[in-house]
Structure formats: structure tokens, C-alpha cells
């Protein structure tokens, strides 16, 4: 690894990008070499900075002083955020490559990864300002804006698209990438556990020297690759729709593209509120339901339905339960990825414990503290997330019993409802 070369590249892409992109496009690289010599190194910066900020330096909270996350928790977040960053880079490579013909460019995965890696440089490097505390969000905003600019001026060189189409090309890739990162990060952070298979796939064992990068289909990266292939197929429909000039056809094709990436190859209609109501009982663990709401949302075209209810009289010292049922709908493909990764973890402290595991083919998360508060969550059919939170309850078994009293089998049986293949 030539660090002088890496530093020079970082300096040039940030300070003189217009002259550096043609140089980058002409370089002979491979997907593994780009990961090994550039991405794996720079993508670690924001993960390490976050760890230092939250677990070493600490966060200043008014009237509470400096609060630090536990070292083990912070380290787990470091690993998860690093893997999320690498996964997004790989998937964005596939998306940019798949979109190339749509915007008059040439398909080439190596050039697509160059576009991702070097346009991400600003965000990676500027993340060091995260150590400045309140200014961290300004640093992230500045890095994101400059990264968009870098991608915009770089695509004509790397993907050989007409300059006048670079804006639309960059916008399409950024929107999809932004949604992917949010959803993937939320899922992985929720379980906060990593197994050797996934970390090995991301950490270097999968990046052996080869001119063709083909991850094991049974690995987490293999699942991401499958997402990219589905996006590629959907992009052909988008290209045809753009040529037709039909605005409705273009909107439908764009929706199919998003569904291919997030929905596991399918457009998914989340359950209607009335369909979720029967799974929210009038009583839970012998306590009456005192509040209830159910809604269906479609952020950026990704449909999600959520039902929430509280059980208990809310009087001081009395037990209470909160039930949440989420139909991940349009994100079921990423839900499956989280389950596929076999993410498992177990941690015990003086105050309680937390663990994530698989049981009967379902992903389960439970946590408990000695104050009588806890949570028990189960993922059904790679689509539905059912969570019961308890306060002032006797033990975690009470949470399990409360959740076990629900019609889980009936809900899981609806996992294919609203799924529209193709």
C-alpha cells in the first residue's frame, strides 16, 4: 500500500477534481484493488471518529455533564457503521453501472466503483471534524454537498455519459443510495450484531486479487449483488420509459427500480390499516388497551404500515406495555438481508443484558434491565417487525408471554400479501 499515492489522490480529487477525474478514468484498476487500496482505508475514518466521539471523548449533555457510551457498545457500532459504508459502496457501484445506458453512458463496474469511491472522499475525510462536537453535522452536510458535486463532474469521465445528462444521472444514483443507506443502517443498527461470515466478506477475504469480482451468492455481499442485478434489469425498463417520453411510464419504471433494490425484486403494497387492526388485541398480559393508532406511509415510494398500542393505566408504579407492529413492506428485501446475515449478539452487564439470535427461522432481539424495563422483538417472514416494550414488569418472560399471546402465525401468513413480482 502506497500511502503517499493515496494522500496525493485525496488531495487532488478534493482540490483539482476537474483535472483529476480524467486521470482516474484512464487508470487500470480492478474492483478488489479499489477496495483494498482506497475504500477500505478511507471508509474507516468516519467509523473510527464516531467511536472516539461517543465512547472515548464522550458527548456533552446539558445539566448531565459528559456521557460516554460503553466501550463494547461503541466498538460494535464502529464495526456496524464500517460494514454499512462498505456495503453501500458496493451496491452503489452496481446501481451506477446499471443506470449507465439510461443516461447515455457505458457500463463498466470498475469505472462505476471509481465514481463511488472518489466522490465519497470528501465525506470520509471531512468526518474528522466530528470530533468538534456540535460542528459535526455541518461537516457531514458540507461533505455530502461536495460529494454530490464530485460525482456530477466525474460521471462524464468515468461512465462516459454526455455532460448534459450527468446531473440527472448523479441525482438518480444519489436518491437511491441515500434511501439504501438509511434503511440498511437502521436495520443493522437495530440488531447491532455481526457474525464472522459477514465481517469476513467485508473485511478482505472476499477481495482477493481478481479482475472479476464475484462474491459468494450465499454471503451477505452476494445478496447485495443480487439486489444490484435486479436493479440492472429494472433499469432497462426505466431506459425504455424515458425513450417513450411517457411521464406515467417513467414514474412506474422508477418505482420498479426502487422496488427492485429495496423490496427484494418485488413492488410491495404494505398492508392497509384495517388489515393490521385484528393483530392488536384489546388486552395484553391482562391489561386493557388505553391508546391505539395505525397508519400507512409511503416515504419516497417505499410503503410502510405501523400499528401502535399502549396497555396499562399509566398510574405510578403500575406495569405497562407498548406494542408496535410494523409492516416493512417496500423494504422487505433489506429485511431479508438482515436476517440472512445471521446477525447475532449477546452482552451482559451489571444492569441487565441484551441479545440477538435466531429461533425457529426468525430473527429475535431481547433486552432487559434490572429496573423492570425491557423489550422483546421478533421479525416475521422477513417483513413484519413485532415489538413489545414493558416497564415495571416482573421479567423478560412476561414480555415473551405477552408477545406469544398475539396471532403471530396469522400475521406471518400475510408475508406475501401485496407483493407484486416483476
pLDDT for residue 152 = 92
pLDDT for residue 201 = 30
CA 64 from centroid of its chain's CA atoms: 32
Predicted confidence (pLDDT) per residue in 326-351, tens digit: 887 655 544 544 444 445 667 788 88
Q: What does the buried/exposed string (b/e) look like for 217-245 if buried means 16 or more CB atoms within 10 Å of the residue's CB? A: eebbbbbbbbbbebbbebbebbbebbeee
Residue 245, φ and ψ in degrees, nearest 5: 80, 5
| Helical ranges in 245-293 per DSSP H | 247-262, 273-276
pLDDT for residue 334 = 47
H/E/C letters for each residue in 133-178?
A: HHHHHHHHHHHHHHHHHHHHHHHHHHCCCCHHHHHHHHHHHHHHHH
Domain residues of the chain, as ranges?
Answer: 3-262, 273-421
Contacts of 299 (CB under 8 A, 6+ apart): none
pLDDT along the chain (422 residues), means of 10: 81 92 94 86 79 58 49 59 79 89 92 94 81 59 83 94 90 77 56 35 32 47 53 58 63 54 60 93 94 76 79 82 83 48 66 83 84 87 86 92 93 86 56
pLDDT for residue 200 = 32
132 exposed, middle or buried (CB, 10 Å; 0-12, 13-18, 19+)?
Answer: exposed
Q: Are 287 and 320 in contact (CB under 8 A)?
A: yes
pLDDT for residue 174 = 82
Q: Which three cell numbers stand for residue 203?
A: 473485511
pLDDT for residue 135 = 52
Pairing of the two strands 65-67 and 59-61: antiparallel
The C-alpha atoms of residue 338 and residue 195 are separated, in whole angstroms, by: 11
Q: Which three cell numbers stand for residue 386?
A: 413485532
pLDDT for residue 154 = 94
pTM above 0.75, yes or no: no
pLDDT for residue 327 = 84
Rounded (5°) CA angle 115-116-120: 115
pLDDT for residue 191 = 43
pLDDT for residue 295 = 87
Amino acid at each position: 500500500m502506497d500511502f503517499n499515492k493515496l494522500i496525493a489522490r485525496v488531495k487532488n480529487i478534493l482540490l483539482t477534481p476537474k483535472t483529476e477525474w480524467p486521470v482516474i478514468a484512464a487508470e487500470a484498476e480492478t474492483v478488489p484493488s479499489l477496495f483494498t487500496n482506497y475504500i477500505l482505508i478511507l471508509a474507516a475514518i468516519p467509523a473510527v471518529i464516531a467511536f472516539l466521539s461517543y465512547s472515548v471523548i464522550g458527548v456533552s449533555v446539558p445539566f448531565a455533564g459528559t456521557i460516554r457510551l460503553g466501550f463494547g457498545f461503541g466498538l460494535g457500532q464502529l464495526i456496524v457503521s464500517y460494514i454499512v459504508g462498505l456495503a453501500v459502496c458496493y451496491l452503489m457501484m452496481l446501481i451506477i453501472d446499471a443506470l449507465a445506458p439510461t443516461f447515455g453512458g457505458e457500463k463498466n463496474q470498475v469505472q462505476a466503483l471509481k465514481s463511488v469511491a472518489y466522490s465519497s472522499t470528501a465525506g470520509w475525510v471531512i468526518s474528522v471534524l466530528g470530533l468538534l462536537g456540535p460542528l459535526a453535522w455541518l461537516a457531514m452536510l458540507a461533505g455530502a454537498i461536495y460529494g454530490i458535486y464530485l460525482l456530477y463532474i466525474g460521471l462524464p469521465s468515468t461512465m462516459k455519459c454526455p455532460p448534459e445528462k450527468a446531473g440527472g444521472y448523479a441525482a438518480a444514483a444519489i436518491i437511491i443510495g441515500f434511501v439504501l443507506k438509511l434503511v440498511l443502517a437502521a436495520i443493522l443498527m437495530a440488531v447491532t450484531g455481526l457474525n464472522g461470515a459477514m465481517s469476513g466478506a467485508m473485511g478482505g477475504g472476499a477481495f482477493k486479487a481478481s479482475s472479476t469480482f464475484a462474491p459468494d451468492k450465499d454471503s451477505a455481499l452476494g445478496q447485495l449483488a443480487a439486489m444490484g442485478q435486479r436493479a440492472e434489469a429494472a433499469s432497462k425498463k426505466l431506459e425504455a420509459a424515458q425513450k417513450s417520453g411517457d411521464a406515467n411510464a417513467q414514474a412506474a419504471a422508477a418505482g420498479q427500480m426502487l422496488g427492485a433494490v429495496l423490496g427484494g425484486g418485488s413492488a410491495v403494497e404494505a398492508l392497509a390499516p384495517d388489515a393490521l387492526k385484528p393483530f392488536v388485541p384489546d388486552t395484553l398480559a391482562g391489561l386493557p388497551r388505553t391508546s391505539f393508532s395505525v397508519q400507512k406511509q409511503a416515504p419516497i415510494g417505499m410503503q410502510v404500515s405501523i400499528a401502535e398500542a399502549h396497555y396499562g393505566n399509566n398510574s405510578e408504579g403500575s406495569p405497562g406495555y407498548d406494542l408496535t407492529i410494523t409492516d416493512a413492506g417496500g423494504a422487505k428485501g433489506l429485511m431479508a438481508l438482515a436476517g440472512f446475515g445471521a446477525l447475532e449478539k449477546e452482552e451482559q452487564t451489571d444492569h441487565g443484558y441484551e441479545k440477538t439470535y435466531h429461533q425457529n427461522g426468525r430473527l429475535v432481539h431481547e433486552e432487559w434491565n434490572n429496573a423492570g424495563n425491557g423489550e422483546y422483538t421478533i421479525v416475521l417472514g422477513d417483513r413484519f417487525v413485532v415489538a413489545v416494550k414493558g416497564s415495571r414488569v416482573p421479567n423478560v418472560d412476561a414480555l415473551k408471554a405477552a408477545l406469544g399471546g398475539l396471532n403471530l402465525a396469522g400475521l406471518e401468513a400475510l408475508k406475501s400479501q401485496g407483493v407484486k413480482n416483476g
